[in-house]
Structure 1
C-alpha cells in the first residue's frame, strides 16, 4: 500500500489528473455541458476569480494546461532522460500548477463542502463545489510531485528523503520548541470563529449588530444554530490539534475501547491535519482577497474578521503537523537517519 501511495504522489497521480481534467476541458470545448466556471457557476459570482470566464476560452486553457501537465508529469516520472531537460523547468511547472489550483481556483466552498457533509447538509452540494474538490486534489498531487521530483534531484535517501546534513531547525530540541508554539497557535485561532458563532446562537451580538441577528433569524430560521454547529466542528478540530503535542496523540488513551494503550499510527493524524491546513489556508486567502477588494460592507465585522486570520491558522497547523511527523518518524533502515 505504501508503495502505491508513493507512486501516486511521485508524479503518476498528477499525470492521471492532468489527462482526465484536460479531457474534460476538451469535452467542454466541443460543446459539452457542465462547464463549472463563469455562467456555469452562479454561486461563484461574488467569490470566484473566474466569474467572468467564457466557456470557450476557459475550456481551451484547460485543454492546453492538461497537455502541458501530461508532458511535465512524464518528465517527472522519468519517461524522458532528465539530462536533456533543465531540472528547474518541470519543477517550475509543477509548483505553478499546485499554487494556481490551490490558491486561485479553489475558494471557501472546499471547506464548506466538508463541513456541510459532516453535518449531513447535502443540499448545499452542487457540481461547481465538487469541481473545487477535484481541483484541490489536483493541487495536492502536483505539489507532491514537485516535492518528490526535487528530492530526486538532490542527494537524499531514496527511501526516506532525508539528507546527511540536518538543518538546525530540524534538530529534535528545536523542532519541539517551534512545534509547540505552532500547535498552540493552531488551537487558539479557530476558537475565535467558534466563539462568535456560539454567541450569535445565544442572541449575543458579538462583533455584529442586534439587528443583524434578528434579520438573519427572520430570513433564514435556524441559521445561528447551524452556525453554532459549524463553530463546534471548528472547536473539536482545535481540541484534536492538541494531540500533535500530547501523549494521547501517540498512544491511544484508556477511553478508547479495544485499542487503548496501542500506538497511534502517525498517518492517522498527519493526513487529516495536512489536508485541513491546506483547506484552511485556501479559505483564508479568499476572505483576505475579498477584504482587500472592499467586498465586505462596513459594520458586522465578526462576519469575516475571524476568517482573515485563517492563513496563519493553516500555516501554523501545517507547521505543527510537520513537527509531529519529524518527532514520530522512525529511523531509516536504508541510510540510518533518525
Structure 2
C-alpha cells in the first residue's frame, strides 16, 4: 500500500469532518440576526421609556422632581387643621362639622400633590405626545402653546402667592399674618408655606425650558 493510499482515507475523513462542522455551525449572518432579534425582544418586552423630542436639561429634571416634595410639608401640615387642631394658630375653629372639614383638607392636599405631579409633563415625553391609554386623545401631539399657556398661568398664580407670603411673613405694606401660640409654631408654618410658594418661580422656569425645547422642533 502506497503512502498516497494511506493518506487518502485520512484526507477524506478530515474533509467529511470539516463539512459536518460547517453544516452544523450556525451561519454568522443568521447568528447576528438572531442575536439582534433576541436582544430586541426582551428590550421591547421590558419597555424602554420613550425620550422627549429634544434633550431635557438636567436642572429641569431636578426641578420637576423637587416640586412634589416641596408641596408635601404643607400638605401634611394642614391635615390636623381638618380635624380641628389649629397647629398653634390663634384663631377660632371652623364652624363646619368634621365631615365637611376633613374631606375638604384631604382633597386639597391630594389635589396639590396631583398638580405637582402634573408639572412633570413639562419634562417628560407625555407632555409632548399624550400616552396611548388616554381615551380619545391618546397618541396625539400636545400643542406647545396650550402647555406653555397653562404653565405660565399656573406659575404666575403661584408667584403671586409667593409675593403675598413675603409681604405677610415680614409684615410689609400693611400685611400681617395670623398670631401663633409661640415662635415654634410660627417657624413651622413659615417654613412649610415658604417651601410651597417656591412653586411659582420653579414652574415658570420649567415652562420657559419647555417652550425653548418645543420651539426648536420646528
Normalising by structure 1, we get a TM-score of 0.40
Question: Structure 2: any 5+ residue segments left out of the alignment?
Answer: 1-53
Tell me how large the CA RMSD over aligned residues is.
3.0
SS of residue matched to 1:216: coil
Per-residue displacement from partner, 1:152-197 (whole Å, max 9, x unpaired)?
Answer: xxxxxxxxxxxxxxxxxxxx76x61222222223332223222223
What residue number does 1:267 align with? 145
* Counterpart-to-counterpart distance in 1, 2:208 and 2:140: 22
Residue in 2 that maps onto 1:208: 87
Match of 1:190 among 46, 52, 71: 71
1:40-55 alignment, distance < 5 Å: none
Q: Is the 8 A contact 1:193 1:306 kept in 2?
A: yes
2:104 counterpart of 1:226 = yes
Contiguous gaps of at least 5 residues in structure 1:
1-171, 333-338
Q: Give SS of 2:104's match.
A: helix
Query: Would you say 1:298 and 2:190 are equivalent positions?
Result: no
Q: CA shift at 1:331, angstroms?
A: 5.0
How has the CA–CA distance of structure 1 residues 212 and 295 changed in structure 2, closer, same or farther, with 3 Å as cutoff? closer
**Aligned in 2, Cα 1:305/1:258: closer, same or farther, shift over 3 Å?**
same
Q: Deviations over 1:31-69 (max 9, x none)?
A: xxxxxxxxxxxxxxxxxxxxxxxxxxxxxxxxxxxxxxx
The whole-number CA distance in structure 1 between the counterparts of 2:198 and 2:129 is 29
TM-aligned CA distance change 1:304 to 1:230, over 3 Å? farther
Residues 199 and 265 (structure 1), Cα distance of their counterparts in 2 relative to 1, 3 Å cut: farther
C-alpha separation in 1, matches of 2:167 and 2:68: 24
TM-score by length of 2: 0.59
Residues 120-149 of structure 1: CA distance to partner in whole angstroms, max 9, x if unpaired?
xxxxxxxxxxxxxxxxxxxxxxxxxxxxxx
Name the CA distance, whole Å, in 1 between partners of 2:136 and 2:156.
32
Change (3 A) 1:291 1:224: farther
Q: Is the 8 A contact 2:158 2:200 kept in 1?
A: yes
Correspondence for 2:214: 328
Distance 1:225 1:235 in 2: 15
Contact 1:287 1:308 (C-alpha < 8 Å) held by counterparts: yes
Counterpart contact for 1:191–1:238, Cα < 8 Å: no
Deviation at 1:268?
2.6
Distance 1:304 1:223 in 2: 22
Distance in structure 2 (CA, Å) of the matches to 1:315 and 1:176: 17
Structure 1 residue 260, shift from structure 2 partner: 1.0
Give the direction of change, closer, same or farther, for the CA distance of 1:286–1:190 in structure 2 (3 Å limit): same
